[in-house]
Structure 1
Amino acid sequence: METSLARDLMSDEEWAFFERFILAVRAPNGRKATNHRLVLDGIFWIARTGAPWRDLPGEFGKWSSVYRQFRRWTLAGLWEDIMDALNQSGAVPSALQMIDSTVIRAHHQAAGAKGGTPRQGFGRSRGGFTTKIHLLVNAHGLPMRTEITPGQTSDYLGFDLVMADNLPSPSVLLADRGYDADKIREGMEARNVLPVIPMRKSRKKRIGVDRSLYRLRNLIERCFNKLKNARRVATRYDKTAESFLGFIDITSIRLWIRHLST
C-alpha cells in the first residue's frame, strides 16, 4: 500500500487566510482554474523538507507546474503583501522590536544565476559560500521583515534594509553590539526610538544598557531557530535572491498564522 508523503498540510482556517491574497494577485486569462490549495501545500512541502523541486511527490501535482506557480507568486510580491498585512493588522504589539542576522551556508548548486553571485546575495565568509539573513522581529518573536545580503556583509550595513518606513515604528529596539554605530543610534533617537545596544570595546564614550530589557533579545534567536526548521531556509539551495527570500517569507507567515490561531 502506497504511503502518502503529505503531512503538515494547511488547515481550512489557514487556507482561508491565504486564499483571499491569492485571488487578489491571480490574473484572469481564461485558463482552467488551478487547485491553488494543493499547489501551496506543495510549496510548503518543499520549504519544510528542502528537497529538490523534481522530487516533489506527485500527489501535489506536476513539479514543474508547482515551481512555476511559486515563481509567479514570488515575483508578483504575494509573500511581501501578506507580511505587510500581518504587520499592519495590529494583532501583535510592535512597540518592542529586535534586530539581528544569521549566516546561512549556501549549497554549491545555488551558484550560477544571471547577474553574478553578489547580486543574488551570495558572498564569502568564514563559513564559506554564504548568505546573511537580516531579521526584524516584534515582542512576540514573530518576523516583521527579512532581507538578505552576501555573507560577509556587516550587521550595520543591513540595518537600513529591514528598518523600513512602512513598518510600525518601535518605541524600543534591541540589538547586539554588531549594531553599535553612531549612525544607527542617532537615526533611532531621531525617530524617538530607545536603542538598547551594548557598546563595542573600542567605544570611548560609555553608554548604559538596561540588561533586564536586553535579555528579551533571546526571542530573535528563538525565531531564527524556528525559521531554520524549514530546511529550505536552513541551507540555501536557490540560485535567485527572490526565491530564497520567498521561502523565508513563507516560513515567517506560517509562524504568524500558528501564533494567531493559539
Structure 2
Amino acid sequence: MEASLARNLMSDEEWAFFERFILAVRAPNGRKPINHRLVLDGVFWIARTGAPWRDLPDEFGKWSSVYRQFRRWTLTGHWEKILETLTESRIVPDALQMVDSTVVRAHHQAAGGKRGTPRQGFGRSKGGFTTKIHLRVNAAGLPMRTDITPGQTSDYLGFDRVMDDNLPEPVVLLADKGCDADRIRAELQNRSIRPVIPMRKSRKRRVGLDWHLYRLRNLVERCFNKLKNARRVATRYDKTAESFLGFVDITSIRLWIRHLST
C-alpha cells in the first residue's frame, strides 16, 4: 500500500478554531458544501511543502477545487480577518511591538501575472527577482499585520502599511535603522508611542537608544524564521500578490494557534 503524503494535519483543537470562521455555505451553483476541513488541510500542505497545486495528493480532493476555495477565501480577505481577530483579542501582551521586513526570492515561474510585476509585488533588487514581506509583531513575537511590496521598496513605505491600522497601539515600538526618519519618529510621538530605533550614519541630529530594549528585536527575526519554515513563504511561487500574502497570513495564523495551545 502506498504511504500517505498527508502528515502534520490539523488537530481537532485547531479545526475547532477555524470552524468558527469558515461556514459550510452552499456554492452558487447549488452543489453540496465541500469538506472544509479537508480543503484547509490541503491548503496547509501546499503552504508547508511549496509544491505546485497540481501535485496536491488526491486524499485532499481535486486540486482545482481546493485551489478555487483557497482563492475565494483569499480574495474576500478571510485570512486577514482571522489575523485581526486574534490581534484585537489581546490574548498576548502587545505593549511592546516590533516592525521589520525581509526579502524573499521569487521563482521565475511566478512571473507573468496580470497587471504587470510591480502591481503583483515583484521587484528587482540585489537578490534578483524578489518580494519584500513587511511584518508587525507583538511582545510574544506573533504577527499582528503583514504586507508585501516589490523587493526594492523602502522600509518607509512598509512601515506606513503595517502601522496604518486600527490595531492595538504599542507603548514602545522597536525597528531597525531602515525606519530612522524624522517623519516616522514624529508620527510615533504624536501617537504617544516611544520609538526605539537606531540612527543612520547620515543622521545629523543625534538620538539616544535604549540598547537593552532594542535587543528584544530578535523576536521579529525569529518570527520571520518560523514563517519561512513554510516553503511557500520562503520562496515565492505565486503569480498574484493576493495568493502569496494569503500564504503569509495562513502561516501567521498557525503560529498563533500553536503558541496559544502550549
Same fold (TM over 0.5): yes
Question: What are the within-5 Å matches in structure 2 for residues 1-262 of structure 1?
Answer: 1-23=1-23, 26=25, 29=28, 30-262=30-262
Q: Whole-Å Cα distance in 2 between the matches of residues 27 and 161 of structure 1?
A: 35
Q: Whole-Å Cα distance in 1 between the matches of residues 23 and 209 of structure 2?
A: 47
Give the drift of 1:33.
1.6
Give the drift of 1:62.
0.5
Identity of aligned residues (%): 80
User: 5+ residue gaps in structure 1?
Assistant: none
Q: 3-state SS of the aligned residue for 2:136?
A: strand
Q: Whole-Å Cα distance in 2 between the matches of residues 27 and 90 of structure 1?
A: 33
- Post-superposition Cα deviations, 1:30-74, rounded to whole Å, max 9, x if no partner, equal 320210000000000000000000000000000000000000110
Give the drift of 1:165.
2.7
Q: 3-state SS of the aligned residue for 1:74?
A: helix
Q: Is the 8 A contact 2:79 2:250 kept in 1?
A: yes
What TM-score, normalized by structure 2, do the two folds share? Answer: 0.98
One-letter code aligned to 1:19? E
Q: Is the 8 A contact 2:26 2:32 kept in 1?
A: no
Q: Whole-Å Cα distance in 1 between the matches of residues 142 and 112 of structure 2?
A: 33
Q: Whole-Å Cα distance in 2 between the matches of residues 67 and 28 of structure 1?
A: 15
Q: 3-state SS of the aligned residue for 2:20?
A: helix
One-letter code aligned to 1:83? L
Q: Whole-Å Cα distance in 2 between the matches of residues 55 and 204 of structure 1?
A: 55
Give the drift of 1:200.
0.5
Q: Is the 8 A contact 2:103 2:132 kept in 1?
A: yes
Q: 3-state SS of the aligned residue for 1:23?
A: coil
Q: 3-state SS of the aligned residue for 1:238?
A: coil
Give the drift of 1:88.
0.7
Give the drift of 1:164.
2.6
Q: Whole-Å Cα distance in 1 between the matches of residues 225 and 63 of structure 2?
A: 28
- Post-superposition Cα deviations, 1:108-144, rounded to whole Å, max 9, x if no partner, equal 0101111000000000000000000000000000001
Q: Whole-Å Cα distance in 1 between the matches of residues 194 and 177 of structure 2?
A: 15
What TM-score, normalized by structure 1, do the two folds share? Answer: 0.98
Give the drift of 1:20.
1.2
Give the drift of 1:90.
1.2
Q: Whole-Å Cα distance in 2 between the matches of residues 23 and 91 of structure 1?
A: 24
Q: Is the 8 A contact 2:27 2:33 kept in 1?
A: no
One-letter code aligned to 2:41? D
Give the drift of 1:28.
5.8
User: 5+ residue gaps in structure 2?
Assistant: none
- Post-superposition Cα deviations, 1:181-221, rounded to whole Å, max 9, x if no partner, equal 01100000000000000001111111110000000000000
Q: Is the 8 A contact 2:101 2:135 kept in 1?
A: yes
Q: 3-state SS of the aligned residue for 1:209?
A: coil
Q: Whole-Å Cα distance in 2 between the matches of residues 245 and 157 of structure 1?
A: 17
Q: 3-state SS of the aligned residue for 1:21?
A: coil
Q: Whole-Å Cα distance in 1 between the matches of residues 38 and 85 of structure 2?
A: 23
- Number of equivalent positions: 261
Q: Whole-Å Cα distance in 2 between the matches of residues 209 and 51 of structure 1?
A: 44
Q: 3-state SS of the aligned residue for 2:120?
A: coil
